[in-house]
Structure 1
Amino acid sequence: MLQINTDNRINRDYGPPPEFRPGPVVSLAEVLAVLRFLRRHVPIIALTCCAALCISILYLIIAVPTFTAKAQLLVNSKATVLDASAVSTVVESQIAIIKSESIATAVIEKLDLAQDPEFATGHGSGMISRLLGWTKPETDANAARYAVEPFERRLSAKRVGPTFLIEITFDSKDPDRAAQILNAVVEKYTTPQLDNSGLQDGKWVKDRLNELSTQAFAAQKALEDYSKNGTQAADSAATIDKLAAAAESSKNAFENFRRMLRKTEATQQQSSPVFEASIVTGASPPLRVSSPRPRNVLGIAIGVGLLLGIAIAMLRDLLGGIRASGLEHRLSTEESRIERPLPNAVRPDHQSEASAKATSVRLTV
């Protein structure tokens, strides 16, 4: 009894065991039918494959080859503790900076890409848009801005997995040109961009510092020389006071300028970014074409040709079956019309007997 109660409880908790349902089984007859279908339509499938291969070969001959240069950057963190989400956010921000319009414009101006036919917009949709009045006409002033759009389409940057590596690529028809442009992009991103105005101009700062130092030294030297060789005239005290005031003013100007430079440098160090990038692999001219790839194009052409040939063969069989069924229906209709017996009133022998009976009747008064 105990065993029976335990079994009932198990069946009540877990339910009946699942039923075994065998999967679909392909019979030998179906396989043979498919083989007969393929053998019957081999010419059609072969013809579509040959047509697809011819089209793909023509595409490979006409298509302009594209070369892709690659470079890798390592984004180093200056912060002590950063979680994964913060790292991902900052790295994606650096990728956005690399692909920004400011860097694209700087590279275009540096390499004079606005005059390059590869980046010119005088052909295709750009010319059509200008003819329709959708865009402004291209001039020497805005030629660099028109070259930004094709430049951004060819530039790509992505993060390599969950690492600090950023892979940058650039596509061009010329492998040397692709590597040159990509190296310029990396240089513009990694090199600190200094403003050419104000105190951040290094040459102006150095010249100004030397000028103030020379003035302070000359004023102090004049004061010392006059103190040693000065006479006891009445105006000697006034001259010494003037020279001392000039020396003190030149010295204060030099010290104030140095103090301002130190303060500026400290402010720049405090506002420095949390991340800095370094080059891991520079761009070099690619040795192989990135697109179109002959193997991929030919493989896709063969696959499309096979599928198209099978589809045409199936459509042909379907149309043939519909035509055959229509012909059989028409033949069966005609046979039923021929084999159907005519009514007695319509048959020729009954018509003659009826006419004879009709003529034999006479009317009597």
Structure 2
Amino acid sequence: MKMLQTNSTENWVSRDSMPPDFRPGPAVSLADAVAVLAFIRRHLVIMLLTCLAGLGIAILYLIIVVPTFTAKAQLLVNSKLTFADAAALSTVVESQIAIIKSESIANAVIEKLGLAKDPEFATGQGSGMISRLLGWSKPMTEANAARYAVEPFERRLSVKRVGPTYLVEIAFDSRNPDRAAQILNAVAEKYIAHQMDKASLQDEKWVTDRLNELSTQALAAEAALRDYDRNIKTTNAADSADARDRLAAAAESSKNAYDNFRHVLRKAEAAQQQAPPVFEASLITGASPPLRASWPKPRIVLGVAIVAGLLLGLAIGIVRDLSDRIRTSGQTIGPSAEDGRIERPLPNGIRRDHQLEASAEPKPVRLTSSG
């Protein structure tokens, strides 16, 4: 038995002798827990009142705020080209996202659906009332109304890429769920139409300019030949014949160039219609009216209100405790109101209980006799 006690004593390692890395961390003491409970008990009414106030404000916000509905759709930006790396693919998809969010698409949708007259998008027109009264703003026209509608339109439209794919998700926020789906489908339609007409839009100006140039040259050569035949002189027949041959050859060459260009252009248009497009886009999932509002969400609003109310109550409680401590520590011992004497603290060597014992000792009584 004694051997066991000796071994247990030797195997015991004191907590103070343990290395710092192996010492357990400080735990919450019972006094700290009691202090926290006492703090909550003292300020429980304040915290409940702040929570109720926060809930009241949140409920009032949910009643007043106009709900927002978000419609969503997905586009497939399908490229027929092959890319060497993911960076080139990402660049192409980001370029298409920029086209969807461009002002040209917004103007086309605003013009098609008449959003310039919609109060939801015409809110910016009334913000310059003072400027209009002072003459600082231009008079309202249909073009200005459309420009005012572009800013809220672009703010409500969001476009993002779905992972490392060709899929692009577009979303639109509106107070009316049917209106949100209608606008989003119009955006997809205008974007797809823009992609289909992109090649013809790029080449249209050059083709028109070239046709006009060749036509002008052919007409000028024919007019020069007619003028020469009208004003020809018979005095020098050999020189006249040579000049007329040159003018006739120039007129024929200009006409052949114009005809050949038109023939090549028709063949190119036919081949382009038969060949698949190099870059195409398609609507994978059309937008439908959302069933629930995307904002506000009652659970999130009420939860934030409760947490904010608790934090506000704790802050008020802490401030009250600090003010009480400052007021208590700031009080000084002043003169007594009864006898005007100044009370001073006892010396450190004299204890309070000794003073009480000394005052409790009986005092001698002096007796006197009348005789």
Distance 2:274 2:129 in 1: 48
- Corresponding residue for residue 268 of structure 2: 263
Is 2:282 the counterpart of 1:281?
A: no
Compute the displacement of 1:190 (Å).
1.3
1:90 paired residue among 83, 89, 92: 92
Q: 2 CA distance for matches of 1:52 and 1:132?
A: 43
**Counterpart check, 1:179 vs 2:184:** no
Q: Counterparts in 2 of 1:325-344, with a 5 A limit? A: 325-326=329-330, 328-329=331-332, 332-334=333-335, 338-339=341-342
Match 2:35 to one of 33, 54, 57: 33
Q: CA deviation at 1:193?
A: 5.6
Matches of 1:279 and 1:265, distance apart in 2: 27
What is the aligned partner in structure 1 of residue 365 from structure 2? none
Contact 2:124 2:148 in 1 (8 A): no
Query: What TM-score, normalized by structure 1, do the two folds share?
Result: 0.66
Match of 2:306, as an amino acid?
I
5+ residue gaps, structure 2, are 1-18, 205-256, 345-371
Q: Residue deviations 1:102-139, cap 9 Å, x none? A: 00000000001101111103566344565566653431
Question: Aligned in 2, Cα 1:69/1:340: closer, same or farther, shift over 3 Å?
Answer: closer
Q: What is the CA distance between 1:340 and its match in structure 2?
A: 6.5
What is the DSSP-based 3-state SS (H/G/I as helix, E as strand, rest coil) of the residue aligned with 1:299?
A: helix
Q: What amino acid is the match of 2:285?
A: T
Aligned counterparts of 1:129 and 1:177: Cα–Cα separation in 2 = 32
1:246 equivalent in structure 2: none
Q: Please give the alpha-carbon distance, in whole angstroms, between the structure 2 residues aligned to 1:69 and 1:126.
A: 31
Equivalent position to 2:159, from 157, 160, 169: 157
The question of whether the paired residues in 1 share the 8 Å contact of 2:111 and 2:146 is answered with yes
Is 1:312–2:316 an aligned residue pair?
yes
Distance 2:142 2:191 in 1: 26
- Report whether the alignment pairs 1:291 with 2:295: yes
Q: Counterparts of 1:54-133 in structure 2 under 5 Å? A: 54-121=56-123, 125-127=127-129, 130=132
Specify the SS of the correspondent of 2:323. helix
Shift of 1:91: 1.2
How does the TM-score come out when normalised to structure 2? 0.65
The corresponding residue for 2:46 is 44
132-141 or 22-31: bigger deviation: 132-141
Question: How far 1:174 sits from its partner (Å)?
Answer: 0.4
3-state SS of the aligned residue for 1:285?
coil
1:306 match: secondary structure: helix
In structure 1, what is the Cα distance between the partners aligned to 2:126 and 2:297? 25
Whether contact under 8 Å (1:114, 1:147) holds in the other structure is yes
What amino acid is the match of 2:288?
Answer: S
Q: Deviations over 1:221-260 (max 9, x none)?
A: xxxxxxxxxxxxxxxxxxxxxxxxxxxxxxx999864532
> Is the Cα contact below 8 Å between 2:336 and 2:342 reproduced in 1?
yes
Count of residues paired in the alignment? 272
Task: Give the Å deviation of 1:270.
Answer: 9.8
**Aligned sequence identity (%):** 65
* Structure 1 spans left out of the alignment, 5+ residues: 1-16, 201-251, 342-365
